[in-house]
Every structure is written in structure tokens, then in C-alpha cells.
A and B are shown apart, each in its own frame.
Chain A
């Protein structure tokens, strides 16, 4: 097809009404207008603009706007995901509480006997590490499937690419919060004291959520390109479980490798939970800042990957 035969349709067909077309102005302003779907709130509806060239800053604006725009969609997907998970099971949602409790019981009995520890304190120790750990690892594994499992949805309607990883991470976060309530009940039942430090818990959950969301986004996009990654992640995270002091006390590690534990990013978040729930004290500023830094970096890395790949993903699903 010779290009000369292509009819340029910039001009209006003569018989139609021709409102003053703002085409030239828009073109002149196009850098400002790029990604302006966020900012404009004309009564006639949002301006959506799709183009290949976007800076990361513009992408971030769109990200924030999309978070607000799809707020209700995110909520309802999370509710549906949780409802579907436990629909028709006899104990329903209690399973998400029973699961970690039973795991904790097994671990406490096995390792408590092995390490000859006081069972009451040890149960609390394990649970305070196990809950954030299972939140992070489950979110990453589910997140790696999030884009692939929702291929049809992504192909048929416009949804931002971060949507499904965010949904899977958020539903895990809801489970975590409910599990924590269960933990408090247990702590009171076994006579442990809860300090007023738990007021910082929402903040800790938020920081952990930010980190996990970043990791889930990276996992989601990487899995689109390498489908085997889900299986690899399952194995790697299973190994990681024993690299972080969850079932064993940190003091058991030999002095010379204790420093290496800090290289594990998960360690910092488990530290936050542990110091509040088990040690009953505020995390040190160092613990706060290292976790916060990690979380922000991880989320930025995840979002940057989304920005790089968001136009390509749909063709690779």
C-alpha cells in the first residue's frame, strides 16, 4: 500500500457539523497534556491520553490518579477475593485464622522441644515472625500470578497494570490484620502482656505493605516474561523462611554471620513486628529507617518496572 493512497482524515467530512477543532493547539501543547488524564476534571469527563513517551514523574501522577479512580474497584475485588476464598467452606473465614495458629502450634512444639524453650513465650515469638512472613511470601507468590491469571480481564477492558498485584497484596494484608487480632487474643489467653506499643502496629503494617507491593509488582511483571518464576519463587521463599530468624532466636546464630542476616530484606520488616509484639518496645530509629528506606525503594523499583513494561505486557500475556 503506497502511503500516498492513505487518506488523512484530519479534515472533517464536509457534510458534518464542524466545531472549531482544537487540533493544532493540542499538538503544540502535547508535552503538557501528556498523562493529563489525572489532572483535568472538565465537566465533560476525564481526558485519557495514551502515548508511548511518558516520564516516570508523569507515570507517577497517573498512578496516584488511578489509585483514586479505581478505589472502589480495588475494594470490591479484595472483598470478592476474600469471599471466594472461603465460600462454601464450613469454617469460612476462620480458616485464615486457624491456619497460622495450627502452623504455629506445630512449629512451637517441634522447635520448642528442640531448643528446650519456654513454650508460652516461644509461641508468641514464632507467631510474631510467622504472620508478617506469611503475608510477605504469600503476597509475592500470589502477586506473581496476578497478571497471568487475569489475562482475559486485562485484554477486554482497560485496567491499570498495577491493579491486580495490588488487589492480591491487599487481600493478604486484610488477612494479616485479622490474624493479628487473633494473635492478641492468644497473647492475652496465655497471659502475655500487651504494651501500648501496638499503637504503632498500623504504621508497621503500612510500611510492610509498601515493601510487599513493590516486590509483588516486580514478581508479577517478571513472571509474565518467565512463567517458571512462580515455581522458583515458591522454592526460594521456602528456603528464605529458614534464613530469617523466625523459628529460631537470633541469638542462636554464630556471632560472625549474625550481621549477614541484615542483608535479607525480609528481616527488617519481621524485626519491626517482633519488637512491637514480642519485645513490647518501639523499634529503634535505625530499624524504622532501614525498613522505610527498603519499602520505598522496593515500591519505586516495582513501579518503574511497571512503567517500563506496561505497554508491552498485554502482548506477552
Chain B
């Protein structure tokens, strides 16, 4: 049976304790029960999450800080158990969440290889199989027998990465560890990581780097305030995400970003799953060609006309990339140059008018010839003008 992850109506609630629980305080607060000082705050980290990941899924989870991305990964790992609903994981799971998690500073590198394997429920024989590979990959040499408290952070990073990525799991959970390691190690580590990503059947990747999600994933999920707000192809999801973020930025509500108070975000419907980037591109081209109107496209895609206009105005990410990739023709290059120069003339004329209004006549006369001289200079130098 192929590996899968099922998350059914799972909710998770954190309790935040404002004061440390000790006997004296709980005794005192019990005495003052009349005042009932509320020191416990419930905080819904994940709300009614319904997700199915199956073989072949490369899922990128994006969202603001505190949206619940890492918590979702930890729930899949089993560190946090859902308050309601359930999570089922079938298959060998390897969490690359905090790589140094199972390390004991007092023990040597080699002992830590065994320790971190043991925490994942492996046997001695299983760990012995890959022990030598870890030692070689981490390039620690004789340091492998030294307690890791004497390691430099680079050495520790190398050991942690080597240990974490040594086994090929069926399900890989990655939380922002793509760039682990020092400069010399990065190329090797990236190769290893890509190898691991392609050999795993399910990958769940949490990253703030949208390029990683774009390049490595075939499905993206936007989490916001503990809820799944959108789920679909990465390019469309990233566009939607960026749109929403920039909307909040121009909303004079910049503090909404990065805080849990960002309730205004993701209010508009996410892009429909059927409307992939090529479809949007086709629609935009049709509109430009005049075969379809903005309103028709809006109805077909089940979005507002304003959204279609944004597509038209900005182009989708894919479209922009497409335009950039095609070299401009000579005529287009001339046209672009003329546009630029005309803009410059316009700016100069405006500047001229402003100066004329505010300065003496002598000053104004000195400016005028310049403004008149420029357009003739352009028309002389460009054959197309």
C-alpha cells in the first residue's frame, strides 16, 4: 500500500500560561477564587484541518509567521496530538524539523549518530548500516569521536545534516532546512537534499522561500491563522499569496503582516483550482486579442472582474517569465527607447513649467531652449520616429 497522510478535521489548541504554575500561586489564586484571575489563554493553532497527501505529492506549505506551518508538521510527526479529529500516517516518516534535536552535547559525534537514530525508533543494526556513511559525508574525520560540545557550529551543522538525510524515507517532512551547512558544504548538501526530495514518495516542505516552493513542489497550501485557505498548483497559489500580502501592505495596515491579527488577509476567494497558469495566460492573450472580454473570463474563472484586470495588468508570473525569455525585436527595442525618451521629455517639460512658475524670467529663458531642443534630437537620431 502506498504511503499516505490523512488529516481529518484535526484541530490543535495551545494553552498559553501567563504565570508559571507553582503551588504557592495556585494556592493563592484558589483562596482568591472570587477574583478568578484568568492566567490561561487558549489559542487555536490549527482549526479543522482536512488534508490528504498521497504518493507523488510534493507539498509546499506557505503562510505568514505564526500561521501554524511548523505546528502542522509537528502534528504529522506526532509531537503534538490533535485535540479533536485525527491524523493518520502510513509509511516511514522522516522529519527534518530541527536537525540537532536528538543530540546530546556530552556525547561524541559517533554516539550522537546512534542516539538520534534511536530516538526515531531504529535499532542498533539499522544505525550501524549508515554510520560510516554519515562519518564520511560529514567530513568530520577524527572529530567524530570528540564530544559535540567542542564542535564549531559549522561542524555541528554538517553532522546534523548528514544524520538527518542519511535514510531514504517514504515520507519526508522538511522545515526550512534546505540551506543548512557552511559554504563548502552547501553544494554537496543541496545535491543530497534534491536526491532525497526526488526519492521520497511524499514531501511536505515548509518554507518562507517561495522559490523553493515554486521549484520543488507540485502542490502548495496556504495556511493562515491555523486554517487552510487555499490549496492548488504552486504558481497560482504563490501569485494569490503575493497578491494578498501586497494588498495588506498597501492597506495602511502593514502591522497586519506577520501578526496573528492579520484577519483582513485572504478574504478574497483563492484562485480556482481549474485555472492554472497556462489557462490564465490563454485568457489574458484572448482578452488582448479581443476574442474574449474581461467579464466573460471573470465569469468563467469564477473570480471578480478586478482580479482578471490584475492578471491583464501584471500578467501572471509564468507570463512575465515567458516575455522575459523572448528576445525583443529591433522595432520593439526602438519603441522602448522612444517611450523612455518621451517620458524623459515629459519630465523635463514639467520641471520647466514648475521652474517657470516659481523663478525669475532669466532663469526661465535659460531652461526653454533645452526643452525645445530634445524632441528634435530624438527625431533626428531615430529612423522610426
Contacts and interface: CB of A to CB of B under 8 A. Distances in A.
Partners in one complex: yes
A19 B55 contact: yes
A156 B23 contact: no
Interface residues of B, number: 80
Contacts of A18: 54
Nearest to A13: B219
Q: Counting chain B CB atoms within 10 Å of each CB, which of A14, A229, A232 scores highest?
A: A14
B214 interface: no
A5 interface: yes
A314 B2 contact: no
A315 B15 contact: yes
Nearest to A229: B23
B89 A6 contact: no
Contact of B118 (A42, A47, A73): A73
- The residue in B111, B119, B122, B225 that gathers the most chain A C-beta atoms within 10 A of its C-beta is B119
Contacts of A229: 23
Nearest to A15: B233
Nearest to B265: A1
Contact of B170 (A45, A69, A232, A316): A45
B290 interface: no
B287 interface: no
Interface string B41-54: 00000001011101
B17 interface: yes
Interface in B100-126: 101-102, 104, 106-107, 111, 114-115, 118-124
Nearest to A6: B227
Interface residues of A, number: 64
Interface in A188-244: 225-229, 232
Given A13-B233, A16-B218, A225 B21 contact: yes
Contacts of A69: 121
Ranked 4 nearest A-B pairs via Cβ: A156-B101, A51-B86, A73-B118, A45-B92
Interface in A123-155: 152-155
B90 A44 contact: yes
Interface in A1-54: 1, 3, 5-10, 12-19, 21-23, 26-27, 30, 33-34, 42, 44-52
Interface string A61-83: 00000000111110011001000
Contacts of B267: 1, 5
A46 B171 CA distance: 12
B79 A158 contact: yes
A87 interface: yes
A157 B79 contact: yes
A290 interface: no
A311 interface: yes
B196 interface: no
Contact of B95 (A10, A157, A311, A316): A157
A310 interface: yes
Contacts of A153: 101-102, 119
Interface of B: 1-4, 6, 8, 14-15, 17, 20-24, 26, 48, 50-52, 54-57, 75, 77-93, 95, 97-98, 101-102, 104, 106-107, 111, 114-115, 118-124, 170, 218-219, 221, 224-225, 227-233, 263, 266-267, 269-270, 273-274, 276
A117 interface: no
> Interface centre among A14, A51, A316, by most B CB within 10 Å?
A51
A120 interface: no
29 contacts: A1-B225, A1-B229, A6-B48, A6-B228, A6-B229, A7-B229, A12-B52, A13-B219, A21-B4, A21-B54, A44-B1, A44-B3, A47-B89, A48-B90, A49-B89, A50-B78, A50-B87, A50-B88, A52-B82, A52-B83, A52-B84, A73-B121, A77-B118, A153-B119, A156-B102, A157-B120, A228-B24, A315-B15, A316-B21
Given A1-B266, A50-B81, A156-B98, 7 more contacts: A7-B270, A12-B54, A51-B86, A52-B84, A76-B115, A80-B107, A232-B23
A227 B81 CA distance: 23
A22, A44, A226, A229 — most chain B CB neighbours (10 Å): A44
A293 interface: no
B81 A311 contact: yes
Interface string A295-316: 0000000000000001110111
Contact of B54 (A1, A19, A87): A19
Contacts of B219: 13, 16
A84 interface: yes
A159 interface: yes
Nearest to B115: A76
Contact of A158 (B77, B111, B266): B77
B89 A48 contact: yes
Nearest to B58: A16
Contact of A72 (B50, B90, B122): B122
A17 B202 CA distance: 12
Contact of A1 (B57, B263, B269): B263
Contacts of B81: 50-52, 310-311, 314
